[in-house]
Amino acid sequence: MDPWRRLIPLSVATSSSSSSSSSSSSLILLLVFFSHSSSSPPTLPQPFDEAYSPLFGDTNVVRSDDGKSVRLLLDRYSGSGFISSNLYKYGFFSARIKLPSDYTAGIVVAFYTSNGDVFEKTHDELDIEFLGNIKGKKWRFQTNVYGNGSTSRGREERYTLWFDPTRAFHRYSILWTANNIIFYVDEVPIREIIRNDAMGGDYPAKPMSLYATIWDASDWATSGGRYKVNYKYAPFVAEFKDLVLQGCPVDPIDQYPSGQCYNNLALLEAQDFSSVTTQRRAAMRRFRQSYMYYSYCYDTVRYAIPPPECVIHPSEKERFKETGRLKFGGSHKRRSRRRGRIPMVVEEQPVM
């Protein structure tokens, strides 16, 4: 059976006339998506000690006895993080993650690939960064892409989620091939970048390691630094399990995969999750309409001409100001009160 299920839209009615009705709708969505957050990844997870090692804050990297999960802690003394034992030239990187709850302002939990330790001035990077918030406010997250040291040309997008990421584990994934990059939340693709010649070196192409970190970013993470980390609520704990690495380990100097690696990469690109099907594209469009609140592609103050990989959708563009932010104050509250369709997954029948 295909381990990634087919995506279809689900119609869900919401109402602004009753807080209980709104709460019920939120609960329905949470239950629907929670049921899918435990679906099988495309390849078997690897035990922590076989594929990863602590990056910093070693005493705050707490591994489970069976080696299948790890907790990253942030306290007043240190954050923490881990790194893959190898660098990979293209691959699929995935984990089920549960974020800290309560007051989390100023905190960043990151799941990303990078080669900054090897190529300091020309590094590549693919980011999923979760941004904490004050008590009672939602976690937000952003994705970003850097290629060949193009840090002055950030390609970030920011979103909210359709579930509470502190109550249950959900799978977050990065697919990176020679042709495209896809960010996933559970089985929903939320962003795709298709490589083209105009991108040149801005497309990440050098071997990268996988990282996961939790750290104090009080100077920018919440309301531009207005709200800081409050260590009265420490330790802050981010939990990771079912970590997946699918790709080929590559020497960062020669950068040439072995023959077996070429076979593995061809197999990776042939996987169901390596392309955005018609159903998945509808789900991705629905996610972006409902939960994306900033996109660099629509930030004409920053980029008078959109970067070459941007695909401008007129219906999407009209929702954003020239700063790339939503016209409705950066919030989706107005939109969420309307009748909408939320992307979900349904199980396929096994292929005999």
Q: Which phi and psi angles does 277 have, rounded to 5°?
A: -70, 175
Any idea which of 61-70, 111-120, 255-264 has the lowest mean pLDDT? Answer: 255-264
Please give the pLDDT value at position 154: 82
- CA angle 37–35–7, rounded 5-degree value: 70
Please give the pLDDT value at position 255: 64
Please give the pLDDT value at position 265: 80
> Is 5's pLDDT higher than 60?
no
Any idea which of 95-109, 217-231, 308-322 has the lowest mean pLDDT? Answer: 308-322
269 catalytic? Reply is no
192 catalytic? Reply is no
CATH number of the structural domain spanning residue 49: 2.60.120.200
- Alpha carbon 254 to its chain centroid, in Å, reads 29
Catalytic residue among 120, 125, 269, 322: 125
> Is 316's pLDDT higher than 90?
no
Question: Partners of 62 in the beta sheet?
Answer: 71
The domain in which residue 297 lies consists of 6-346
In a domain? residue 157: yes
* Nearest C-alpha neighbor of 335 from the set 9, 6, 14, 86: 14
**Mean pLDDT of all residues belonging to the chain:** 83
pLDDT in tens, 115-132: 999 998 999 999 999 999
Catalytic residue among 50, 129, 309, 347: 129
Per cent of the chain over pLDDT 90 is 66
In a domain? residue 131: yes
In a domain? residue 32: yes
> What is the token pair recorded at 272?
């169901």
Please give the pLDDT value at position 213: 98
Q: Is 149 helix (H, G, I), strand (E, B) or coil?
A: coil
- Alpha carbon 144 to its chain centroid, in Å, reads 9
Please give the pLDDT value at position 149: 86
Rounded Cα–Cα distance for residues 264 and 235 (Å): 40
In a domain? residue 105: yes
**Total domains in the fold of the chain:** 1
In a domain? residue 352: no
Please give the pLDDT value at position 264: 78
pTM of the model: 0.82
Please give the pLDDT value at position 139: 97
Please give the pLDDT value at position 328: 65
In a domain? residue 212: yes
In a domain? residue 1: no
Beta strands in the chain (DSSP E): 6-12, 52-56, 61-63, 69-74, 80-84, 88-98, 107-114, 125-131, 140-146, 157-159, 170-176, 180-185, 188-194, 209-216, 236-249, 292-299, 323-325, 340-346
Please give the pLDDT value at position 256: 65
